[in-house]
Amino acid sequence: MKIKYIKTGFFTLLIFGLISVFYLKNETYFSSNSNEKIEYVKIDNIDEESCLSCHSNTKGYSEYHNPELIGCISCHLGNPNTLNKEDSHKGMVLIPGNLSDAAETCGKCHPNELSKIENSLMTTNSGLVAVDKYIFGESDSPDYHYHIKDLKYSPADKHMRDLCANCHLGAEKKEFGEITEMSRGGGCNACHLNYSEEAKTDLTTYMSSDKMELPKFHPSTDIFVKNEHCYGCHSRSSRISTNYEGWQETMLNEDEIKNLNGYKTAEDKRVYKYIEEDIHHTKGMLCIDCHSSHEVMGTGKKYAHEEQAVTLQCADCHFKEKPNTISYDSLDAESILVFLHRDYKHYDKEMIAVKKDNHPLVNTFIDAEGNAFLIGKKDGVLHPLNPQPEICSRDNAHQNVSCATCHSSWTSRCIGCHNEFDKDEPRAFDLLDKKYGKGQWKEHVAEFSSSIPAMGVRSTKEGDHIEPAIPGMIMTIDKGSYAGKEIGTDVSFHRLYAPNSPHTTTSIVRDCKSCHSNSATLGYGKGELTYTIENGIGKWSFTSEYALNPNDNLPEDAWIPFLGETEKGVINSTRLDFRPFTIEEQKKLLFVGACLKCHKDDSKLMQESLIKGIQPLLNRLSEDCVLPAWD
């Protein structure tokens, strides 16, 4: 068989037969619809492949990966010029699409996508490695670039190998079967592999017949990415996948929740408590309805952290006045292919383009009346995209507050984590190399819980921006245990919060007091935050729910002291540009909190303060108003 590769630009199409499909869809596709030239692969002599002599009449392929168009060896390699079983299977890749073989399989037709994925944070895990090294004191910044495959055996690297190195696209998929909650990695398969019910049944029969009864239904490789594809990795760390569906992880075991409503056990035996699901999930929307291929696969650029790679904002769809749009004729080649694969029909309508980088959301459109809609990728349901509520549009007091800060109903919290190295662990498993050894880092967690998100400040050249925050790394690390010292002789303590995207969006915003007079929100930790007036003087006081940690004399779950700041030089965040409130910022927030003791959120006065700010209203103070006094 002879394969010719003709490289002329951005994306990959398959063969001339496949090209004709696109011409039928829109005959001007190559001539005017893309600003980029198209790269495609021409495959000759498909009919001469010997594979289908044995694997005949197979079904289940996606439209664009049918062997009639691309053959079998385009994906599986092997020798197509012999009918001998052993010879034909030489060099064959049974599960193509792992990054170890993607350059010879998927990447032959999709080189640009492979290049993007190889630099993606989902592949490199750069941010996770960087923060871990930073906290272990092995680097002076959490913003350096790393690749998880390059981990050695420093204390931080071994910590990653033992506890964190499972979730990256370079992890090999070595077993047949669909993507499940337990799946990790798998390269292209991680997102694009789909098993029909028939394919699952055939696989079971194939395996139980000692691989003698060949499957008739082949799994499909396509763009129809489901939430299950995201779950395996994104139910870890900040628990975005489980949060989105409304489930908070607990420390219970499945025996403790028998006969209890509102709990469930995941495939990996973790137990979850139902809190409240994201409003987008209630409407049947998938992760990829918002996070398109441009964000999921990346742009090819190396980013330090995930928030830099994600450009989509709530205001792109829930815009203030008019959305940022793009026409079909201006779409890039990748977006056109997604449009065609999804069989969308709105060629004549403007689509929403993400304001930050102008990448298109091809499952959206603006109708003739200016109304915006999103087409659900799960079921094709049309979702109206409502503009921002009037209060968001005219609110001048909260212009630097992210949508998620007000519209997230809850987020996960994890505190009291202790890490120590057990040099005698006989069955230590290295998650990166997938092999057993001796000696392993172990993590002991005190509490999993949930609450309204705390708030932190992102300080950039554009200014300060308030975002959700969580107590992500309040922990001790017994570094001495890894060096062979006696347990407890060389322990470092860390109190770090992390920026967070909860994915628990609700249409009903949190009330004003939950920001201006909530101790956990302000960074003091859970407890009782009280405003009292004595002898005409108003004062705030705080009583913690948790005992003080002896390492720094702060409440176990706190970020900062009550009306105080972290000592200079002490690291308190997983990001260099993300911080807790300063004392002055705390006072401003609590000042409004004092007003809210008497004035309701929806009162005329408080609503006026949203537009004019609080300062002009101080000229009209009532004699009954007692403002806070600060020591």
With 0.75 as the threshold, say if the pTM is over it: yes
Residue 296 CB partners (closer than 8 Å, separation 6+): 122, 191, 225, 288
Q: Has residue 1 got a pLDDT over 90?
A: no
- What CA–CA distances, in Å, run from 77 to 24, 47, 103, 388? 30, 15, 12, 52
pLDDT at position 40: 44
Q: Has residue 143 got a pLDDT over 80?
A: yes
Going by pLDDT thresholds of 50, 70 and 90, the confidence category of residue 378 is very high
Going by pLDDT thresholds of 50, 70 and 90, the confidence category of residue 624 is confident
Mean pLDDT calculated for residue range 19-25: 36
CA 622 to chain centre: 49
Per mean pLDDT, which range of 173-177, 394-398, 415-419, 470-474 is the poorest?
394-398
* Percentage above 90 pLDDT, the chain: 80
Q: Identify whether the C-beta of residue 392 lies closer than 8 Å to the C-beta of residue 292.
A: no
Average pLDDT over all residues of the chain: 90
pLDDT at position 48: 78
Mean pLDDT calculated for residue range 318-325: 92
Task: Outline where 142-188 has alpha helix (H).
Answer: 155-163
Q: Has residue 581 got a pLDDT over 80?
A: yes
Mean pLDDT calculated for residue range 309-321: 93
Q: What are residue 497's DSSP bridge partners?
A: 573
* Percentage above 70 pLDDT, the chain: 92
Of 75, 62, 64, 61, the closest CA to residue 22 belongs to 64
pLDDT at position 472: 83
Per mean pLDDT, which range of 159-168, 187-196, 619-628 is the poorest?
619-628
- What CA–CA distances, in Å, run from 325 to 35, 96, 289, 329? 16, 37, 17, 12
How many CB atoms within 10 Å of residue 288?
22
pLDDT at position 613: 84
Q: Has residue 75 got a pLDDT over 90?
A: yes
Q: Has residue 17 got a pLDDT over 90?
A: no
Mean pLDDT calculated for residue range 325-340: 95
* Residue 559: strand, helix, or coil: coil
Q: Has residue 34 got a pLDDT over 50?
A: no
Q: What is the dihedral of CA 390, 396, 397, 398, to 10 degrees?
A: 60
Of 513, 540, 543, the closest CA to residue 527 belongs to 543
> Which tens digits make up the pLDDT trace of 333-344?
999 999 999 999
pLDDT at position 45: 63
Q: Has residue 37 got a pLDDT over 50?
A: no
Q: How is the chain split into domains, by residue range?
A: 3-125+167-222, 394-620
Q: Has residue 463 got a pLDDT over 70?
A: yes
Going by pLDDT thresholds of 50, 70 and 90, the confidence category of residue 125 is very high
* Residue 364: strand, helix, or coil: strand
Going by pLDDT thresholds of 50, 70 and 90, the confidence category of residue 24 is very low
pLDDT at position 623: 84
> Which tens digits make up the pLDDT trace of 43-54?
556 667 899 888
Q: Has residue 167 got a pLDDT over 90?
A: yes
Q: Identify whether the C-beta of residue 458 lies closer than 8 Å to the C-beta of residue 464.
A: yes
* 411-422/463-478 β-pairing: parallel
Per mean pLDDT, which range of 23-37, 415-429, 506-520 is the poorest?
23-37
247-249: strand order across its sheet: 247-249, 271-274, 263-265
CA 468 to chain centre: 15
pLDDT at position 185: 94
Residue 363 CB partners (closer than 8 Å, separation 6+): 289, 292, 342, 344, 374, 375, 376, 377
Q: Has residue 14 got a pLDDT over 60?
A: no
Mean pLDDT calculated for residue range 137-146: 97
